Amino acid sequence: MTLQHVNVKLFFEGEPGVDLRRFIDLFHEWIVREALDELLIDVADYRHVPDGPAVLLVGHEADYAIDRTNGEIGLLYNRKAPLEGSNTDRFLQALRAAARACLMLESEVEGVRFSRSRFELLINDRALAPNTPESRAGFEAELTTFLRDVLGAGEFDLKGPDDARRRVGAVAELKSALDLERLPETA
């Protein structure tokens, strides 16, 4: 199964302790200074939506959002443009992009800290990966290989939705923390 449109959500450790308006201003600054390696286009304010993206940084290749889906706040990276390579390559690219943005947020916004041992990875393409038992099994096998072989995660738990209305994905809870600054360059 070839997976595209990989999403990674790194969860905040606790509440961010900052007004979400701060992220609107900061994301505008990122556009102006071309802070990321991707083309950034605009910022959208969805703070009025209780369960979804609160602040969206729209890009050409990918979007970044301060996201509150399922009542958990974090930074969501949503890859929109297809990528060459293996599923593992795409997982790593998405995790590296999300980690880079999180590290930038930690350095630029006082009181913001992201988890190093818990994140969500999902596929934002129901045509490529419908939430069926077969798709979930294939995805979890790919994710397990990625966690063990690429990230060197020892013990971990995966929790994914069984609800066919949700996207295929899983929350990975690692027993030992990742070093977001030293993720592998290649899979």
Grouping H, G, I as helix, E, B as strand and the rest as coil, residue 169 is strand
Is 165 within the bounds of a domain?
Answer: yes
This prediction has a pTM of 0.95
Is 167 within the bounds of a domain?
Answer: yes
User: 39, 43, 38: which is closest to 53 by C-alpha?
Assistant: 43
Is 1 within the bounds of a domain?
Answer: no
- The neighbour count for residue 140, using CB atoms within 10 Å, is 15
Is 140 within the bounds of a domain?
Answer: yes
Q: Which two tokens stand for residue 186?
A: 């290649």
Which residues does residue 58 pair with via DSSP β-bridges, in sequence order?
42
Q: How far apart are CA 67 and CA 117, in angstroms?
A: 18
74, 13 in Cβ contact below 8 A? no
Is 119 within the bounds of a domain?
Answer: yes
Mean pLDDT, each 10-residue run in order, the chain (187 residues): 95 91 97 96 96 96 96 96 96 98 97 96 92 92 96 93 88 96 91
Work out the angle at residue 101's Cα, subtended by the Cα atoms of residues 99 and 107, and round it to the nearest 5 degrees.
Answer: 100
Is 187 within the bounds of a domain?
Answer: no
Is 46 within the bounds of a domain?
Answer: yes
> How many domains, the chain?
1
For residue 51, give its domain range.
6-182
Is 16 within the bounds of a domain?
Answer: yes
Which residues fall within 8 angstroms of residue 37, CB to CB, at 6 or more apart?
A: none
What's residue 40's pLDDT? Answer: 98
